[in-house]
Amino acid sequence: MKSIIIVKLDDVIDCSTVDVLFLIIDLNLQESKMHDSSQLKKEFIKKWVQGLQICCSSKRQMSILERKRNIKLSADIALASAKNATTSWSKALISEAKKDREKNILVDNLLGHESKFMGAHQKVTSHNRIRSKKILRRSCGIGKRIKKMGYRRSDSPTCIAKRLVKKRTQVLKRLVPGGESMDEFSIITEALDYILSLRVQVDVMKNIVNATNLLN
Amino acid sequence: MSTRRSRQSSTGASRITDDQIIQLLSKLQQLLPELTNRRTNKASASKVLQETCNYVRSLHREVDDLSDRLSQLLSTIDAGSPEASIVRSLIM
């Protein structure tokens, strides 16, 4: 597999950047079993390489940490943007990046005109208001319940199972971007898609790291 | 008003989509590397969710690690070599 990469790259020194990209994508596709992800891979590679050219091509010397942050940010933004606002996590990822002052400029450069549609600041704040009201109401209700029921409820195995599921769901909500404001059904569908997309990201990054390693 | 709407949708959703949630969890289970080796019906919901969290965390770590390696590789490329010009036109 490695030798094939070297030969093919030598053959295409004269070709454009995009041609070499699609060559790497073809090598990726041959390995991937899931056909749904091929479209996502193409979009991600295209956008990520564009992003890297924007943020890594500055003439001044970047520290390794700074370069790494740029690489990671452009990869995450490229992945989210390749979803084309079809999932909640991708929209949340982009709007979270835009909130950070340092990242905001880079995100605007990476996304260009797209970033205007992705800003979801207002939606998030109204979610927070609704959430805090719900939390207040829930905490009042729980206080009353504890006084009435005592410790009998916690003995039932189904209650323990439910509590475990609730606990794990809360953890998952923190891991998936934008998960805090999702209900049980959405968090599972979003997590499914998020995992598939993360796998695409890891696959592509691995291949590019290996290719760069071989060239060194 | 929003609470009335959300209460309705939550009770409506729990009546209609319990089966869908179970289906989704089994789909999730098929993605997880830890749980696909066993027979599909064995894992409980909390186990599936726990493995999902672990898998997402490990994927995050892989992305972080790969970004690290790529940034180190890009910073150590010899400026004048022909290979560097390929990588530079590709990525930088």
Q: What is the ipTM of this complex?
A: 0.75
Q: Is the minimum CB–CB distance between A189 and chain B shorter than 8 Å?
A: yes
pLDDT digits (tens, 9 = 90+) for B13-54: 445 477 888 888 888 888 888 776 656 566 788 888 999 999
Report which DSSP code applies to B37.
Answer: S
pLDDT in tens, A83-138: 888 889 999 998 888 888 777 777 777 777 555 555 544 444 455 656 666 777 77
Give the dihedral sign, CA A94/A95/A100/A103.
positive
A–B CB contacts, 8 A cutoff, strictly below:
135
Residues 83-112 of A with CB under 8 A from B: none
Q: Is the dihedral of CA A119, B24, B21, B36 positive or negative?
A: negative
Q: For residues B33 and A199, is the Cβ–Cβ distance under 8 A?
A: no
For residue A122, what pLDDT is reported? 43
Question: Which residues does chain B have within 8 Å of residue A194's beta carbon, measured at their own beta carbons?
Answer: 56
Instruction: Give CA separation, A163 vs A38, A145, A159, A160, B78, in Å.
Output: 39, 15, 6, 5, 56
At which residue do the structure tokens 């979803």 appear?
Answer: A83
Tens digits of per-residue pLDDT, A93-105? 988 888 887 777 7
DSSP A76-130: HHHHHHHTTT-SHHHHHHHHHHHHSHHHHHHHHHHHGGGHHHH--HHHHHHHHHH
Query: Is A7's pLDDT higher than 90?
Result: no
> DSSP letters along chain A, please?
-HHHHHHHHHHTTTS-HHHHHHHHHHHHHHH---STHHHHHHHHHHHHHHHHHHHH--SSPPPHHHHHHHHHHHHHHHHHHHTTT-SHHHHHHHHHHHHSHHHHHHHHHHHGGGHHHH--HHHHHHHHHHHHHHHHHHHHHHHHHHHHHTTSGGGSHHHHHHHHHHHHHHHHHHHSTTGGG--HHHHHHHHHHHHHHHHHHHHHHHHHHHHHHHH-
Give the three-class secondary structure for B43: coil
> A-chain residues within 8 Å CB-CB of B89?
17
Q: What is the mean pLDDT of residues A33-39?
A: 66
Instruction: Decide: A80 and A93 in contact? Cβ < 8 Å.
Output: yes
Distance CA A96, CA A90 (A): 10
Q: Extract the tokens encoding A41.
A: 């891979």
| Annotated domain spans of chain B | 2-91
- Contact criterion met (CB < 8 Å) for A216 and B77: yes
CA pair distance A211, A90, nearest whole angstrom: 28
* B26 touches B45 (CB < 8 A): no
Half-sphere exposure of residue A31, counting CA atoms within 13 Å on the CB side? 12
Which residues fall within 8 angstroms of residue A122, CB to CB, at 6 or more apart?
A: none
Token pair recorded at residue A118: 């992705």
Q: What is the DSSP letter of B41?
A: T
Interface of B with A in 34-63 (CB under 8 A): 44-46, 49-50, 52-53, 55-57, 59-60, 62-63
Kindly report the average pLDDT of chain B as a whole number. Answer: 74
What letter does residue B76 receive in the DSSP assignment? T
Residue-level length of chain A: 216
Nearest to B21 among A21, A56, A185 (CB): A185
Q: Please indicate if any CB of chain A lies within 8 Å of the CB of B22.
A: no
Is the pTM of the predicted complex or chain greater than 0.80? no
Asked if B91's CB is within 8 angstroms of A53's CB, the reply is yes
